Structure 1
Amino acid sequence: MITLRKQFSKKAGALAGLLLLATSALADEGMWTLYNLPQAVYDKMQEEGFTLPYADIYSSDNAIKNNVVNFSGYCTGVVVSPDGLVFTNHHCGFSAINSHSTVEHDYMLNGFYAKTYADELPNDNMFVSFMRDQRDITSKILPLIAGKSIFQKAAVIDSVANALTDSVKAVDSTLHVDVDPFFEGNRYYATTYQDFTDLRLVFTVPKSMGKFGGETDNWMWPRQTCDFSVFRIYADKNNRPAPYSKDNVPYHPKSWAPVSLEGYREGSFSMTVGYPGSTERYLSSYGIEDMKTTENDTRIRVRAVKLAILKKYMDRNEKDRINYENAFANSANYYKNSIGMNRCIDSIGIYHQKQAFEKRIREWQDTADYKEKVDFGLLKKLYAKRRPMKSAMFYFNECFRRSSEFLRRAMLLAGGTMKPVNPTSPLKKQYVQFEDNSDKWNIELDKELTAAMLETFARNVPKQYLPVFYTEIRKKYLNNYKAYVEDLYSKSKLLRPGAKFHIVRCPEKLDPGAELGADLQSAMTVLQMVNLNQSKKIDEEERKLCAAKMRMEQDLPHYSDANFTMRLSYGQVKGYRIGNRVTNYYTDAKSIVDKMDRATDVPDYKAEAEMRNLLSQSDFGRYQDKTTGKMQLCFLTTNDITGGNSGSPMFDGKGRLIGLAFDGNWDSLASDINFDSVLSRCIGVDIRYVLYMMDKWGHADRLLKEINPQ
């Protein structure tokens, strides 16, 4: 699954032409900003089958840009109807589907279809965001941040973003502006957004189909997953963004993506537009080594422990399965991705290829009249110096910030960001309180997870980075983490419903759980400061590396690394060869039935009998491909994607929706740092498969009429 990957690493960068050794850009490589799409790129798109005018990409009233949304800050979606229906992936809607599920009404297990507007389910803390405008403000930003520290730069950029937001709000109060670095901070763009926060669940297939293949098939090909869910945007009576209200009505966009039943053939043009989260293709060889050993290896070690505990309890009862299903899926996704990425780094030889490219830059720098030259020797030393602290920071994040409810509350209380329940009372009487969510977690699981994370951190991090409470664990409990946690939970009131923590009474001195949180907060602050100081120097050299590459290859079009702003990628529908094996470019209904028949041996292939019957038909009507005569389920393209592209619309050459991107392939999981034109593929769910399930399983006639596929 290619949801946005959130990690402790630099987020912005750039690439010119091929990432490593080539001298000209490939047609299917690149995550291009839309407002300034190079003419050479557009010309190449036309050569390969794109037929729309240049203006219909970004600037016209019917521009494709207007139909694509940032989906809740971690995925992408596409508007497909005049009444604000949005398609995205099932795994992007996973948390919303899960939040509405109970043992009695398990929408995750059984699926959901709102037969009327009144049945559509509202969701807390979800939104879609439309990009309304984007422009380059580099000339304004660079003079303001020259010579500034990391924190000073952030403050300046926030100030500029706030000033620009005030300016656009004077015209339209529903708009806001973000300012983001591009090309490793060599450029800055301002992007204007409009957010809609009333987003309602309309349709989802059962998890057996929306996540068919589970972790067995995740990041793999061939795939048969029907990875989609349907939401609707609501607005006020004036068709403007508004918080949830029963009086809100479906949003009516000016344009929406036409949905095609025509399909595709091998070699057909394909374009993906979405919000890729983070690539680091400009990263130095030292940065790649750091990513492999410091980031990925840490994630693999910690999540293996975490996932085993979650699975043990989830397999025991349905309530735990529902409560922890979202956490398990999120953790497992990039656990497997990290394994695959490290494997690709070694098998493809990316580290050594990058070294060879850096040799070219050194040789160019020696002869170029160029001031901002990269000091590769310094860069190597900086990475080596930072590695122990960064490793500790990564272990900290994985063990303590993404684990048990107890640790979450301890850190939150220590962070000092909780708002008092009674803010108008005298300060000495003010207190904070946690919401009673005890029906969402299992106390025994929570204890086991806390103990396991405390022990994992201690086993892998040098003693000088251990928080203070580890001294007590060693001396009083003789490193018996289970005994320590049992004692901690019995004495702390962190998990007790209704417990009050008074602000002026220093709660960490009164509660052992709060004291643990304070120790964690202190340790994290030290690690963050050390890492930031080291990272500033590294980032400056990496910025110079990016600038050097762009200058050395100035005759080529350039695109920036992904930073969760809207991007366009294009390519072809195409299989790939690995070794002596050549893959097909699509899967069909027979292939999923064959997998269902193996469900006894592979539980991830289990599905309801009804699903097997639906996909065992001899005639699939208008959803059947006219060329192959088959019901096609998923397909491959050479589109350039990464985390955040989940749910991204896949368009044909006429700008019609033919699929939704949902994954990359195992053989190219290092594509975030190296796009391999031979192996890198985007996996999408065929829109005809989506519509077939809406029709034949969901009987969602009102939605199909609204979408009106052609």
Structure 2
Amino acid sequence: MKKILLSLSCLFAMGASADEGMWTLYNLPQAVYETMQTEGYQLPYDKLYKADDAIVKAVVNFSGYCSGVVVSPDGLVFTNHHCGFEAIRSHSTVEHDYMLNGFYAKSYEEELPNKNMFVSFMVDQKDVTDEIVTPRFKEMSKADREVFLDSIENAWSKNVKSADSTLRLELKPFYEGNRYYATTYRDFTDLRLVFTIPKSMGKFGGETDNWMWPRQTCDFSVFRIYADPKTNGPAEYSKDNVPYHPEHWARVSMDGYQEGSFAMTMGYPGSTSRYLSSYGIQERYLQNAIRAQVRGVKQEVMKRHMDASEAVRIKYDSKYAQSSNYWKNSIGMNKCIDSIGLIGQKQQFEAQLRTWMDNSGLYKDQLDFNSMQSVYEKRQELMKVYMHFIETFYRTDELSTRARFIHNGAQPEGKGKRARYTFKDNNETFDAATDCEILGTLLKNFREKVTNKEYIPAFYQTIDKKFGGDCQKYADYLYSNSILMKGKPIYLNKKSFKKDLGVQFGLDLTELMGALRTEMEKVSENIDQQEQLLCAAKLRMEEELPHYSDANFTLRLSYGQVKEYNIGGHPSGYYTAAPSLHQKMMQGDKIEDYIVEPEMKTLMADASNKQKANPYRDAKTGQMQLCFLTTNDITGGNSGSPIFDGQNRLIGLAFDGNWDSLSSDIFFDSKLARCIGVDIRYMLFMMDRWGHADRLLKEINAQ
């Protein structure tokens, strides 16, 4: 979404670089394809989606939170190291720490199965708006619409499964609910870990370099899809399953790229809000500030405990990474909103839209900016409490998770006097001392930040009366005494259940969340309606231009070029090379995130040598290139997205964005927004020289 209509019109009319966009593939606009051609895409339109060997058939949704790509006839999948983080962690112990030391399965038998992981292939997608948006649908309340859409999705999914039991269907809104698409997927749930490099390289730079450029992170891991030996189709894990033989897979290229080379990503971007109003952006700014503050407090506790114990570090590596990623993102996004004056830009566009509405008469009696401002102002105080609540009590500590669980529709075992809850032993996923201090710290922070007494949970009275206002003493008591943490069956009909302070804690949280949601729903439906109308009005005003829908974790294509950017007159460079990584490694005594094993320093010294880096060095620059920049439009969920060249050949994986473009979820700045990718040759170098993974390299058959 450009600043003014004229700039977008000219870009498409002239065929110049207009790299913004997360485009659905089944209906990719011809104008977009033609622009891709001007930037260097060399294959026919059908090679993207429709042909038997269309590249889309190699791209996967990785476990519902990342993207990936199939790279061999035996179902090898490349994704980011941080996407495989939890799988790697779950197989790690102090004795066999694959997170720290890496892992390579030298045979099929050594490949490690993973619970609750999967890959999904998109089979089909179509616009079903006319079947959904009837006059009756338009009159429904938000709650009734959700029930109706669920029933339609279930019915259509049942029909799909009746024809092919391996398929499922999702029905999702696009363009802020102005359109609806049905997407059919095939899921494979037997996914096994095959290869990962040590964390020192897979997460090199840690939080120091996260969202930053230059980067040298070798952010990849390798999995394999397994299938039913009789059908080559999806199957639950079984030792009898065999490697999946895909219909098509991506070819790996050793040719590299240069500045200006065409680059294309395909993947599953999670969420963007490019159509959001200026009022919505102001609310996002508030949410970001709260998220950053609360997570900063939580992460300080986590880090201290992780530094003190290897066992704790293994348990919390993944949790810390998940938390800190969007802690830093929130800080960076607000910085960008301020630096580019985004709220002011949105207000200018809305003024332009008002003029168009006045002149055309369209949407004039529906889209009301004064009403939108009013309802956002009503929601502001509620949003402050809601964000503090979510960041304090959701996905923070084990007791809070259990306490909420038993009051939120969880089905007990048994009936009558035998009705009970039993929490499975999951001590391998958390440390009681760490979680206890996290809870105490966050309880204190919540009380300090939420000043409206109406939204202070009732258990704070217990903290004051029984624990002298000391939140940590209260948390210590819960972890030491609550039946929720005893590892024994919890009987609902015993007096001890209702009297238990942990149980009461969960009830108070549930009651407050219920009250918050009720109050927010009173204004949120009006906000959603106005934002939907704003999007519809924009699409109508700019109807001669192609438009993409906001990301919603459905498969999207983005295109662009390998390209540096410029900050304050200083060019960024478009790639990093082995010597820059070796230099950072030498700073490990000063910067913790640059600490690596001695063998990695030797490897990078070798990689800096033109002869020893063969055949992985770039023919043009003479360097072994590590990471590179493109103008591709990505966001969270695109992690692990393949980066293809103009011939649909794999040249890298997307793994991050740059600090100067962190407002891109709500505004794409073509001058500053960059996708950071890890070079496929760097990945293969590490598989070869560190992992000695000859069987995998032969299977991939890089050319």
Letter in 2 for 1:281: R
Question: Which residue matches 1:32?
Answer: 23
Alpha-carbon contact 2:263-2:562 (below 8 Å) kept: yes
- Cα distance, 1:185–1:355 mapped onto 2, change above 3 Å: same
Amino acid at match of 2:248: S
- The 1-side partners of 2:476 and 2:617 are apart by 59
Contact 2:89 2:99 in 1 (8 A): yes
| Distance across 1 between alignment mates of 2:597 and 2:435 | 32
* Alignment partner, residue 87 of structure 2: 96
Matched, 1:361 2:346: no
Q: Post-superposition shift, 1:622? A: 1.4
1:621 aligns with 2:610: no
**What is the Cα-based RMSD across aligned positions, in Å?**
1.4
User: Which of residues 457, 461, 466 in structure 2 aligns to 1:467?
Assistant: 457
Deviations 1:491-521 (A, max 9, x none): 3121112x21224558751421111111111
Distance 1:671 1:20, change over 3 A: farther
SS at match of 1:194: strand
Amino acid corresponding to residue 601 of structure 1 in structure 2: K
Structure 2 CA distance for aligned equivalents of residues 120 and 471 of structure 1: 53
The 1:401/1:418 distance shift into structure 2, 3 A limit, reads: farther
Distance 1:63 1:321 in 2: 43
**Change in CA separation of 1:60 and 1:19 when aligned onto 2, cut-off 3 Å:** farther
Which residue is 1:324 aligned to? 316
* 1:53 Cα offset (Å): 1.2
Contact 2:484 2:490 in 1 (8 A): no
Q: Does 1:653 align with 2:638?
A: no
Q: Distance in 1 between matches of 2:484 and 2:162?
A: 45
Structure 1 match to 2:227: 235
Q: In structure 2, which of residues 470, 489, 510 is the aligned counterpart of residue 500 of structure 1? A: 489
AA at the equivalent of 2:265: T
| Cα pair 2:305 2:313 within 8 Å, conserved | yes
- Residue of structure 2 in register with 1:3 after alignment: none
Q: Cα distance 1:221–1:297, how it changes in 2: closer, same or farther (>3 A)?
A: same
1:691 aligned onto 2:684:
yes
What are the within-5 Å matches in structure 2 for residues 102-251 of structure 1? 102-143=93-134, 145-237=137-229, 238-251=231-244
Alignment correspondent of 1:12 = none
Displacement of 1:147: 1.7
Q: Indicate how the Cα distance of structure 1 residues 507 and 675 shifts in structure 2: closer, same or farther if over 3 A, else same.
A: farther
2:274 aligned residue: 281
State, as a whole percentage, how many aligned pairs show the same letter.
57
Residue 56 of structure 1 aligns to which amino acid in structure 2? K
> Is 1:553 aligned to 2:545, yes or no?
no
Alpha carbons of structure 1 residues 536 and 116: separation in structure 2 relative to 1, 3 Å: same
Q: Are the structure 2 counterparts of residues 103 and 418 from structure 1 closer, same or farther at C-alpha, using a change threshold of 3 Å?
A: farther
Change (3 A) 1:508 1:347: farther
Aligned-pair distance for 1:419? 4.7
Taking the aligned partners of 1:23 and 1:572, their CA distance within structure 2 comes to: 18
Say which SS state the counterpart of residue 176 (structure 1) adopts: strand
CA shift digits 1:178-198 (9 cap, x unpaired): 000000000000000111111
237-246 or 472-481, which deviates more: 472-481
Query: Residue 489 of structure 1 is aligned with which of 479, 495, 501?
Result: 479
- The code of the aligned residue for 2:481 comes to K
In 2, the alpha carbon distance for the partners of 1:245 and 1:102 equals 24
Name the residue aligned to 2:627.
634
Instruction: Specify every segment of 5 or more residues in structure 2 that has no aligned partner in the other structure, as ranges.
Output: 12-16
Task: Classify the secondary structure of the residue corresponding to 1:178.
Answer: strand
Measure how far apart 1:438 and its partner are.
2.4
Could you say what secondary structure the match of 1:559 adopts? Answer: coil
Equivalent in the alignment of 1:590:
579
Instruction: Give the TM-score normalised by structure 1.
Output: 0.95
Q: Distance in 2 between matches of 1:275 and 1:19?
A: 28
Q: SS state of the match for residue 218, structure 2?
A: coil
Aligned to 1:84: 75
AA of the residue aligned to 1:126: M
Structure 1 unpaired stretches of 5+: 1-14
Structure 1 residue 459 displacement after superposition: 1.5
Moved more, 70-79 or 442-451: 442-451
Aligned residue among 445, 448, 461 for 1:456: 445
Once residues 316 and 470 of structure 1 are traced to their aligned partners in structure 2, the CA distance between those partners, rounded to angstroms, is 31
Q: Is the 8 A contact 2:100 2:199 kept in 1?
A: yes
Alignment partner, residue 253 of structure 2: 260
User: Residue type of the partner of 2:567?
Assistant: I
Counterpart residue number, 2:664: 671
Q: Deviations over 1:190-223 (max 9, x none)?
A: 0001111110000000000000000000000000
Q: Indicate the residue corresponding to 2:470 in structure 1.
A: 480
Q: Following the alignment from structure 1 to structure 2, what is the Cα–Cα distance between the partners of residues 594 and 385?
A: 53
Q: Distance in 1 between matches of 2:89 and 2:633?
A: 30
Q: In structure 2, which of residues 31, 53, 61 is the aligned counterpart of residue 62 of structure 1?
A: 53
Higher mean C-alpha displacement, 369-378 vs 322-331 = 369-378
Q: In the alignment, is the contact (CA less than 8 A) between 1:108 and 1:206 conserved in 2?
A: yes
Query: Which 10-residue stretch deviates more, 227-236 or 142-151?
Result: 142-151
Describe the shift of the 1:418–1:19 C-alpha distance in structure 2 as closer, same or farther (beyond 3 A). farther
Cα distance in structure 1, aligned partners of 2:583 and 2:33: 42
Counterpart code for 2:34: D
Deviation at 1:526, TM superposition (A): 1.2
The offset of 1:369, in angstroms, is 3.1
SS state at 2:139 partner: coil
1:111 and 1:21, CA in 2 relative to 1: closer, same or farther beyond 3 A? farther
CA contact (8 A) 1:19 1:675 kept: no
Paired with 1:151 and 1:478, the residues of 2 have a C-alpha distance of 43
What TM-score, normalized by structure 2, do the two folds share? Answer: 0.96
2:636 alignment counterpart: 643
CA-CA distance at 1:301 after TM superposition: 1.0
Kept after mapping to 1: 8 A contact 2:67/2:638? yes
Question: Who is 1:662 aligned against?
Answer: 655
Count how many residue pairs are aligned between Structure 1 and Structure 2.
Answer: 689
| Alpha-carbon spacing, 1:507–1:667, altered in 2? closer, same or farther (3 Å) | farther
The 8 Å contact of residues 432 and 479 in structure 2, kept in 1 or not, is answered as: no
Query: 397, 404, 427: which is aligned to 1:438?
Result: 427
Determine which of 519, 528, 550 is the counterpart of 1:530.
519
Q: Which deviates more, 364-373 or 402-411?
A: 364-373
Q: Shift of residue 270 of structure 1?
A: 0.3
Q: How far apart, in 1, do the equivalents of 2:378 and 2:497 lie?
A: 34
CA distance, structure 1, for counterparts of residue 18 and residue 464 of structure 2: 59
> What are the equivalent positions in structure 2 for 1:292-307 lying under 5 Å apart?
292-293=285-286, 295-307=287-299
Decide whether the 8 Å contact of 2:74 with 2:243 is kept in 1: yes
Contact 2:483 2:490 in 1 (8 A): no
User: Which amino acid letter does the alignment assign opposite residue 174 of structure 1?
Assistant: T
Contact 2:67 2:268 in 1 (8 A): yes
Q: Deviations over 1:615-643 (max 9, x none)?
A: 11212111110000110000000000000
Deviation at 1:614, TM superposition (A): 1.1
Residue in 1 that maps onto 2:556: 567
The residue that corresponds to 1:544 in the other structure is 533
Q: Residues 549 and 53 of structure 1: is their aligned pair in 2 closer, same or farther, counting only changes over 3 Å?
A: same
